[in-house]
Amino acid sequence: MSIHRARPGFMMALNNIQFDVQVRVCRTRPWLPPGVLPFVPRLLPIVRSDRVVPRVDGVLLTDLIDRFELAAGMQPAGEAYGGLNPGSAWNFRLVDHFYGRSTMATGSKTPLLVCECGAWGDWPLLAEIVVSDSLVIWDRIEQPYRPERDYGAFGPFRFDRNQYDDALRDLSRPTSSDLV
């Protein structure tokens, strides 16, 4: 954690950010028309589904929100959130998304996480992303389907702009599996 001088005499702790890509590869279940037996052997297509999960101060955001909701006695809570699946959103750019300029934004708020099933609209964790020359701030975090929940003590998360830019640049670099 680094320190950013907000105004003379005031020190504000900064969070560290990373973006993890979790690669999932599985065989899809075929759609079977009525009368077709499901045990007929055949090859099923293999599908790759990457999920992007922010890591704040070395801890996955999914773990941080699970701990927060469970400690606050929220129900449902625990393992409700998953990473963003960029392949499931039309015209989606991760860099724009994490700067708050997403095609998937809901009003002024941007999904940091989505439902553990990967669907964007099922159970998003939203935040207002504020970007300045020196900082990126995730603030006013909420679960839109549970407006009575108070996430005031969860965040805000403040990141050094240069470190945030580097983390997003690392995320957008192709991996060896992308090059094949």
Higher pLDDT, 179 or 159: 159
Tokens representing residue 164 in the block: 């945030």
24 has pLDDT over 90:
no
The predicted pLDDT at position 160 comes to 97
Average pLDDT across the chain, whole number? 80
The predicted pLDDT at position 37 comes to 54
User: 0.95 exceeded by the pTM?
Assistant: no
The predicted pLDDT at position 9 comes to 46
User: CA-to-CA distance for 150 and 20, rounded, in angstroms?
Assistant: 27
Q: According to DSSP H, which parts of 26-157 are helical?
A: 61-71, 94-97
- How would you classify the pairing of strands 3-7 and 135-142? unpaired
User: CA-to-CA distance for 99 and 94, rounded, in angstroms?
Assistant: 9
One-letter amino acid at 13 equals: A
Confidence of residue 91 (pLDDT cuts 50, 70, 90): low
